[in-house]
Every structure is written in C-alpha cells, then in structure tokens.
Amino acid sequence: MKKIYLQTQGSTNELNTNNSINSHLPFFIKIRPAKDCRYIIDIYKREDEQRINIDRTYSTLQSVFRRIEREVKNNFNEDIEISNTVERYCHDFYNDLHESYLACCFYDKETETIQLYPNNEILISFRDKGTENYIRTCEATVRYLAILQKKAERHEEEKDWDCHKLKSKEFLRERFTWLIGEAIKKQDNNVPFKITKSLIK
C-alpha cells in the first residue's frame, strides 16, 4: 500500500498531489473545501484522464481522505493511504494547516553542510570553498550530482534576488537545502525522508 502525502496549493486551502514526492503517481488528486463542510474532490488518471468528481458534505477532512482511498481502489485498482501530514507548499511558506516538510536532506549548522537522510552523507560543504559550487560527492551521493550542480547555480542566483538580499545566511542555506530536496524527491519518489518543521539541525 502506497502512502500519499498531499500539499497545500499556495495560499489557498486546496490540497493536491502536485508535489515532488508524487511526481510518479499515475493519478492526480485535488480537494477544495467549500462552505458548510462541503468538499469538492477531483481525481483523474494521468494517462487516460478517467475522471472522478465528487461534491458533498463530510464531517471531517479525514472522512474525505477515506472516500478518496475507496474511489482510487474501486476505479484504478490502486491501494493507497492518505496521510494526515500535509506537506508545506514551499520553503518558508506557511498556511493555516499544520504543515511539515518531507525532508530528504537537511542543513547542519555546526558543520555548515547539507546532508542526506538517513545516513548523513554530505552533499554540500560551505566550508570547502575550493570545490566547485561547494559540491561534495561520495559513492552514496554521486547519483545526485546533476541536481546538485543545477541547484548550486540557482542558489547563487537567488542571493541577488531583491526579496532575499536582507535574508540571513541560514535562511538562504535552508532554502538551498529545500531546492535540492525537492529535486531529489521528484527524481526518486521512494527516497527516505523525515517529517519535520525545519530543514536546519
């Protein structure tokens, strides 16, 4: 059985599977809360666009999740469990829900490194200024080299963004960590991750 983690859609109260950890999911789920405990549910198969639309009242969001699980089983023959954990839409972006990061990597302040869960392999070392784009490679992380190179370039670009110029070093490094993690999860939906409120340790 596959566990599904939904995310919020920006500043709205919509939940969907448009996040990186679901990039290989063969179907799409969207939930839009409406007035008076109504929920509008949209489920469709990506390859043939078989679509399921539901608009009805539910007492709790968990009841909505259970209905979606049944619909996916009955229509697509897929066994899923929708987690009560909602993934944060973006780095440093908060909504009304109790959101979390699904973190496959983290920034360690003491060593100034970005490390990969669960075995703490070093992906980026900010102290190694002589290495290209701070990138550290080892047997466990070389498979992500292209991602690291691309996100290191993005990290350097973002330092000059007007909205980032006054941000702290820790903020920028946490965002760099988030960028790397999202790309890794998009490439590998089965990568180990930790549910956490912060990407900094």
Q: What is the pLDDT of residues 98-136, one digit of tens each?
A: 789 999 999 999 999 999 999 999 998 888 764 556 676
Asked if pLDDT for residue 164 goes beyond 80, the answer is no
Is residue 201 domain-resident?
Answer: no
Q: Are residues 107 and 186 in the same domain?
A: yes
Q: Are residues 65 and 110 in the same domain?
A: no
- What pLDDT, on the 0 to 100 scale, is given for residue 121? 92
How many CB atoms within 10 Å of residue 44?
17
- What pLDDT, on the 0 to 100 scale, is given for residue 143? 87
Q: For the whole prediction, is pTM greater than 0.85?
A: yes
Per-residue pLDDT band at 94 (split at 50, 70, 90):
low
- Where is the domain boundary, 97, 117, 136? 97
Per-residue pLDDT band at 137 (split at 50, 70, 90):
low
Q: 160 is in which domain, residue-wise?
A: 103-196
- Where is the domain boundary, 70, 97, 124? 97
Q: Give the type of residue at 1.
A: M
Is residue 9 domain-resident?
Answer: yes
The partner residues of 53 in beta bridges, in order of sequence, read: 42
Tell me what percent of the residues of the chain surpass a pLDDT of 90.
Answer: 65
- Where is the domain boundary, 72, 97, 122? 97
Distance between CA atoms of residues 61 and 66, nearest Å: 9
Q: Are residues 89 and 18 in the same domain?
A: yes
Distance of alpha carbon 97 from its chain centroid, rounded? 15
Helix axes 145-158, 169-187, angle to 10 degrees: 150
Task: Kindly state the tokens that stand for 64.
Answer: 């909505």
Average pLDDT of the residues in 34-38: 92
Asked if pLDDT for residue 96 goes beyond 70, the answer is no
- What pLDDT, on the 0 to 100 scale, is given for residue 99? 87
